[in-house]
Amino acid sequence: MKPMWYTNKWIIVLMHSAAWVLLFSLPFLLRPTYNPNETAHPQPANDQANFIISRINDGVLICFFYLNALVLIPRIFYKKKYMEYCLVILLCFAFFVGQGWLLRTNFNPDRFFTFRKHIFFSVFIFMFILACSIAYRTIRDKIISDQLAKEKENEFLKTELSLLRSQVSPHFMFNVLNNMVALARKQSDQLEPSLIKLSSLMRYMLYETGEEKVSLEKETEYLQSYIDLQQQRFGKKVIIHTSMLPGDKMYFIEPMLLIPFVENAFKHGTGMIDHAQINISLAAEKNNLLFEVQNKYNPTSEEIKDTASGIGLSNVQRRLELLYNGQHSLLIRKNDHLFTITLQIHLS
């Protein structure tokens, strides 16, 4: 998705700089003009000292603005540590008041300047910057959330089109049907359970994938039906070990998220490979899913694979980044003629 113009980092820096310059210029722009002939409102005794002190105070407020927006709110407030957050804000206020008082009393002493007036003035400016910082963080999070929602929607549409075009390899469907024709000619007892598995697989692809999330149990059943049909197709040519433990708790997952890894194993782990073997394991416990698929592969094989089949690992990785950002890990390894993917997902 094309980034918006206001997300450019240089535009952001320019807008922030302009906002700070405008904000801290207001006291000078709105300050009344003094008449040299009037004695009722004399000019300040030391304009240069006042200017330096004001700029230092402005710098402290700017630092607090970004400290609160970028550090305190996401790391303390969002984690529901409200007491700690209030304590840190009070400490920041005390530092702001203290440094301002020290600057005034040491570099520009004024007999009309009192600590009480200093605190009274500091409360208003500090609370104003605090409110601006909170508003900035809220707006920033809303923009990011909206962008992520749009990106998820676009990715969902792309994935949906990809699923409709080839949810599983068309070669797989043709081979299964041909295998069933052979079973029918032999009048094999395996024909009926094979038809039931194929029906279950098709039903899941046609109806369940329209949902935003499905139960992990249904996803596991779909995987098992796919594996059983492949096992029937290859017979003893491929050794398949499976372990599916979806757990006792009702977990939910995006549909068709795991099948590309299994399909990839059958696509690249069969054919011109000696002693072909595929290992598939799934376990869910304590809100964590561990899914691993391992297959033998031949790196020197020139066999042409069906590039149009399946969703593809790159698209699955993109879906994982959007759907489980920061809540998953995907490890892909190639060693000793073994291709292994290990996927961990934190399930809500």
CATH of the domain at 255: 3.30.565.10
Query: What would you report as the CA-atom Rg of the chain, rounded to the nearest whole angstrom?
Result: 33
If asked whether residues 220 and 335 sit together in one domain, one would say yes
**First CA to last CA distance, the chain:** 28
pLDDT of residue 83: 94
Task: Name the pTM for this structure.
Answer: 0.53
If asked whether residues 194 and 105 sit together in one domain, one would say no
pLDDT of residue 162: 56
Is the Cβ–Cβ distance between 243 and 259 less than 8 Å?
Answer: no
If asked whether residues 215 and 255 sit together in one domain, one would say yes
pLDDT of residue 63: 92
If asked whether residues 127 and 201 sit together in one domain, one would say no
If asked whether residues 239 and 137 sit together in one domain, one would say no
313 found inside a domain:
yes
If asked whether residues 76 and 210 sit together in one domain, one would say no
If asked whether residues 172 and 269 sit together in one domain, one would say yes
125 found inside a domain:
yes
- The CA distance from 71 to 87, in Å, is 14
If asked whether residues 178 and 72 sit together in one domain, one would say no
Which of 87, 117, 149 is the endpoint of a domain? 149
Name residues whose C-beta falls within 8 Å of residue 144's C-beta, 6 or more positions apart in sequence: none
65 found inside a domain:
yes
- Cα 163 to Cα 74, 152, 158, 246: the distances in Å are 37, 16, 9, 24
Is the Cβ–Cβ distance between 197 and 225 less than 8 Å?
Answer: yes
Name residues whose C-beta falls within 8 Å of residue 84's C-beta, 6 or more positions apart in sequence: 76
pLDDT of residue 138: 92
If asked whether residues 243 and 308 sit together in one domain, one would say yes
- Residues of the chain scoring pLDDT < 70: 1-8, 26-47, 108-113, 157-171, 208-210, 300-312
- DSSP structure string for 238-272: EEEEEEEE--SS--EE-TTSSHHHHHHHHHHSSSS
39 found inside a domain:
no
- The CA distance from 307 to 92, in Å, is 59
96 found inside a domain:
yes
If asked whether residues 304 and 176 sit together in one domain, one would say yes
The residue range of the domain holding 301 is 167-346
315 found inside a domain:
yes
Q: 295-299, long-range: CB within 8 Å, 24+ apart, which pairs?
A: 295/265, 295/266, 295/268, 295/269, 295/338, 295/339, 296/269, 296/337, 296/338, 296/339, 297/268, 297/269, 297/273, 297/334, 297/337, 297/338, 297/339, 298/272, 298/273, 298/337, 299/337
159 found inside a domain:
no
If asked whether residues 129 and 197 sit together in one domain, one would say no
**How many domains would you assign to the chain?**
2
158 found inside a domain:
no
